[in-house]
Amino acid sequence: MAKRHKAYLIISIVIFISIFIISVQYFKTFNSNRWKQPRFVKEWEIQKKKPGYGAEIISLTANQYGIFILVWNKISCSVSDGTKIFSIQHYDFDGNFINQWPKDNKIEISQELRKKIGFIPVDEYDNNQNYFRIVDSREKLISPSIIISDSVGALYIADYSGNKILKTDRYGNVLNLIEIQDKTKWHGSDDYLNKYQGITISKTKFYLISTAWDEKHQRNVPNISQFDLNGKLIKEKTINPPLISVKLPQLGIKSTTIDGTIRGAVLNDEDNLYLLTEKYIIMLDRNWDEKKHIATVLNKGFEKPMPFYDPEAKRVIKYDEWMQKEFGIDFTAFNTDALPDVKEFHMMFYYPYCLSISSRNELIVTFIGGKPFGIIDAIIFDKEGIMIGYWKNKQKSYASWYKKLSDIKKNEILDEKLNIAFYGNSIFMGRRLHITFNDSHHNIIQKFSREER
């Protein structure tokens, strides 16, 4: 009997130790997959082309040669032709300016490439979006929206309104110009490819996301085109995502997502494509078949806004009182699920803007808006679409001008654009901040650092 009890004891101890080891291993694995808040390193404002010009961040990327920012050089006063001017600004990893190109928005391509491509006629619009003239898209950037980089440091600029992809080196020398014919028959496109789409790249291919028209459901749907790095079309496919309903119980609204317009696209190391729509991510396998739909509606992580001093009322007020006064909104009518879905006021809250992927295969969905409930800049998913954390910053800017503002004025600053680029253990965040109380803007780059795994 004693021997039997001893055997039972030994077995129990072995089972306990095994369970303990498995639990520790699970905890380590689970904890290693959780999102850890990056450490803020520095911030700088992007340079203006010259006096009289603004500088608005459109997109950014990073590679072994530094940070490359696609910029719209907005003109504060009329110029001779009134057209838009775009450029790429190059900085090192510490924010030191290196150079800017192309000069005066003019693209210089070889005669051989010019003959190969041929005339690309597109309509051009002025800074006020008025039709201006027909131009040759080979000569200039018409309205670029995305810049990405490949593993050897070449840059790809998606000029959707110019119906082309421009491939350059880090100095702006044109390596290739790829004409993209509009085959999507998008409803009301005027034969142009469309903005708010995506371009992503692997070691041997790049993927361009445009918009097709779904006649049955009368909606936009994503069209995927795969090219080799020389611009040769490999294959195409149109995706028809399902109609997805988002319930907003406190508002009594059932919002159905019928628009499949894509806001961003990324590719992981297993060749799975992820397409960001207004309310969810479409996850595709390597054959571009739909695997999963990942909801991007924020539903937790919020902090109740603290009361702050109102100089007009000359007293401390609560945030819901300020909301009622400024916008006539009953703050109690909102829940966190509702915030991105209130169209009239989405810029005051949280709205999905951009999709990025890290070297660790983390999906990062950035949010724009006022962000009053704790500054949640992004929601983070693993490659299977499981939410692993929020990226929350203490403030929208670390510059002296922001620190001098009162709490109420900080609440009146909107994130209008928020892009992310990765290189090594560094993350670069490009923000366009709209200071609503004086209608000015700050276009800034923030550098963050991550712990090594």
Q: Is the pLDDT of residue 85 over 80?
A: yes
Q: Is 310 helix (H, G, I), strand (E, B) or coil?
A: strand
pLDDT digits (tens, 9 = 90+) for 394-418: 889 999 999 998 877 887 888 999 9
pLDDT of residue 193: 52
Domain coordinates in residue numbering, the chain: 36-449
| Greatest mean pLDDT range, 149-163, 321-335, 370-384 | 149-163
pLDDT digits (tens, 9 = 90+) for 296-343: 876 665 666 677 777 777 888 877 777 777 666 665 555 445 454 444
Query: Within 13 Å of residue 246, how many CA atoms lie on the same side as its CB?
Result: 21
pLDDT of residue 99: 94
pLDDT of residue 346: 46
Query: Within 13 Å of residue 318, how many CA atoms lie on the same side as its CB?
Result: 7
pLDDT of residue 96: 96
pLDDT of residue 29: 42
CA gap 345, 339 in Å, rounded: 9
Q: How confident is the model at residue 128 (pLDDT cuts 50, 70, 90)?
A: low
Q: Is the pLDDT of residue 201 over 80?
A: yes
**Residues β-bridged to residue 66:** 63
pLDDT of residue 118: 83
* Residue 40: both structure tokens together: 């803020």
pLDDT digits (tens, 9 = 90+) for 22-62: 544 444 444 446 888 899 999 999 988 766 677 899 999 99
* Residue 269: both structure tokens together: 């190391």
Fold classified for 36-449: Neuraminidase (2.120.10)
CA 41 distance to own-chain centroid: 21
Q: Is the pLDDT of residue 248 over 50?
A: no
Q: Kindly give, in sequence order, each residue whose CB lies less than 8 Å from that of residue 402, ignoring residues fewer than 6 positions away.
A: 395, 396, 410, 413
The string of DSSP codes covering 20-41 is HHHHHHHHHHHHHHS--PPEEE
Lowest pLDDT segment from 261-265, 332-336, 366-370: 332-336
Lowest pLDDT segment from 60-69, 188-197, 253-262, 281-290: 188-197
CA gap 67, 88 in Å, rounded: 10
As a whole number, mean pLDDT of residues 285-296 equals: 87
Q: Give the neighbor-by-neighbor strand order of the sheet with 387-393.
A: 351-357, 363-368, 375-381, 387-393
CA gap 59, 199 in Å, rounded: 12
- Is the pLDDT higher at 386 or at 136? 386
| Greatest mean pLDDT range, 128-137, 182-191, 368-377, 378-387 | 378-387
